[in-house]
Amino acid sequence: MLLGVCFLFLCLAVPLPGCVHDSGSGPARSAEAVAFIGVNVVPMESERVLPEQTVIVRDGLISAMGPSSAITVPAGAQRIEAKGRYLMPGLSDFHIHLHSDEQLLSYLAHGVTTVFELNGTPRHLKLREQIAKGQVLGPRLYTSSPLMDGGPEGGIVVSVNSPEQARQAVVRQKREGYDAIKVYDNVPPGVYEQLVATAREQKLPVMGHVPRTVGVDAVLRARQAFISHGIEYFLAGSRDESRIPGFALGTKAAGTTVVPDLSHVHTSLKMMEDLEGVFSDPEARYLSPKVMSDWRYSNPTRRVDVRQFSERQRAAYPYVQHLTLSLQRAGVRLVLGTNASDAGLFPGKTVHLELAELVGAGLSPYEALATSTRNPAAFIEEHVDPAARFGTVAVGQHADLLLLPGNPLEDVGQAGQALGVMVRGQWLTREQLQRMRDKVAESFNR
């Protein structure tokens, strides 16, 4: 597992100049407890800030929280003096493709503490277990099955061309331990119905695309748990924006969660206009040479009629913006997903591009942040693990936290300026994370 073991030994406790001070030396995890002292808490269970709080973390959980005057810091605790700073839940990205394992660190460096792989493999199942056991440092990982599609077998695609194939495939993915079923573009209507029915029997959510011959209306009637991306409504439903209000109401009635994924549409347009500019982003140095090579080979300018593709994406972008705001206003659960690390979509960084896109579509900063905190947690609690405890800052929740210089409810961009990240109770400063990433980049040049 590339660099997995190294990550565990590089986590030295280093103070942040001018704002955060450790009470001792050695790895952050060696302290009996960690205390954020005097911090403003953005709990994300509602739109509010709790000023001047002390938050105590023990054994990976938030064990106490309250006004600093009322909370006693345990003896021997690692003290993080955070007056004037803001503490919020770690972020989630619920549509990723983890193409190489060093990308786990990129997610943490950008404050992403939970991810959902939407094209799973046995490697992801093993990695999920290693992360959960603390053998590999990374965000909490959920993973769907390999994608299920009509047509011939190819690569890791699970071919489902008959209802019986679909039934057997779903049962097999449940047995192998995946958290969800991933559905793709070309599943025939009768096969799709069997796939959804079997997944419901097996207590697995169906996540992914809207099969083109099934269509949006039928997918909503089937109550598919999760649609990713917003452009699916455009591609498989109707490009007529007058249908959006009806889609929003239907999605709410179905209880379907949606990933808008505006950044994916926007990035594909940028790649049409300035491919080298996208690939020369400073984040590229943290991607393996293999991933960068794959990006160059798989970028849209090589695979499609550029003019036709660009025209489609330009039409889709305002449609998905309109759809996103309509879904939000209808009370649909929106969850942030980015499709990283497909070409041009940098792990972790794209989460912050998507937060800005959501605000640009008309969501408030709180509503945008909810798509990456409380909403993903609610989806997991409903469909995967009723005992999941993340997405808000409260006693008993997992200690997946971001310490920020400013209030993200006033400026969603503050979420991208984390001074440090706590993942499962392990505190990592921005400087630590940067040194770890630099080591990864250096290893690619050896």
Q: Which residues contact 401 (CB under 8 A, 6 or more apart)?
A: 36, 55, 57, 87, 88, 89, 90, 113, 393, 421, 422
Per-residue pLDDT reduced to its tens digit, 254-269: 999 999 999 999 998 8
For residues 34 and 199, what is the distance between their CA atoms, to the nearest angstrom? 41
Domain carrying residue 361: 90-389
Task: Compute the distance between CA of residue 429 and CA of residue 424 in angstroms, rounded to an integer.
Answer: 14
319/240 Cα distance (integer angstroms): 9
DSSP class per residue in 269-326: HHHHH-HHHHHTSGGGGGS-HHHHHHHHHHSHHHHS-HHHHHHHHHHHHHHHHHHHHH
pLDDT averaged over the chain? 91
pTM above 0.75, yes or no: yes
Find the range with the poorest average confidence among 14-18, 169-173, 177-181, 373-377. Answer: 14-18
DSSP label of 44? S
SS (H, E, C) 215-227: HHHHHHHCCCCEE
Average pLDDT over residues 176-192: 97
User: Model confidence at 8, in pLDDT bands (50, 70, 90)?
Assistant: very low
What span, in angstroms and rounded, lies between the C-alpha atoms of 2 and 137? Answer: 11
Categorize the per-residue pLDDT at 4 as very low, low, confident or very high, splitting at 50, 70 and 90.
Answer: very low
297-309 pLDDT, tens digit each: 877 666 667 778 8
Over residues 74-83, the pLDDT tens digits come to 999 999 999 9
Token representation of residue 17? 């100049």
Residue 410 lies in a domain: no
Q: Is residue 313 part of a domain?
A: yes
Report if residue 61 sits inside a domain.
no
Residue 115 pLDDT greater than 90, yes or no = yes
- Amino acid, single-letter form, for residue 274: D
In a domain, 347, yes or no: yes
| Sequential DSSP letters for 139-182 | -EEEEEEEEEESSS-BTTBEE--SHHHHHHHHHHHHHHT-SEEE
Q: What pLDDT sits at residue 425? A: 96
Task: Give the model's pLDDT for residue 19.
Answer: 36
22 in a structural domain: no
pLDDT at 85 over 80: yes
In a domain, 314, yes or no: yes
Q: Is residue 57 part of a domain?
A: no
Mean pLDDT across 16-21: 34
**What are the pLDDT digits (tens) for 26-72?**
334 445 899 999 999 999 999 999 999 999 999 999 999 999 999 99
∠ CA(267), CA(269), CA(270), 5° rounding? 65
Digit-coded pLDDT (tens) for 319-362: 999 999 999 999 999 999 999 999 999 999 999 999 999 999 99
Domain of residue 149, CATH code: 3.20.20.140
What is the Cα gyration radius of the chain? 22
Q: Has residue 8 been placed in a domain?
A: no
Tally of domains within the chain: 1
Tokens at 132, concatenated = 């959960």
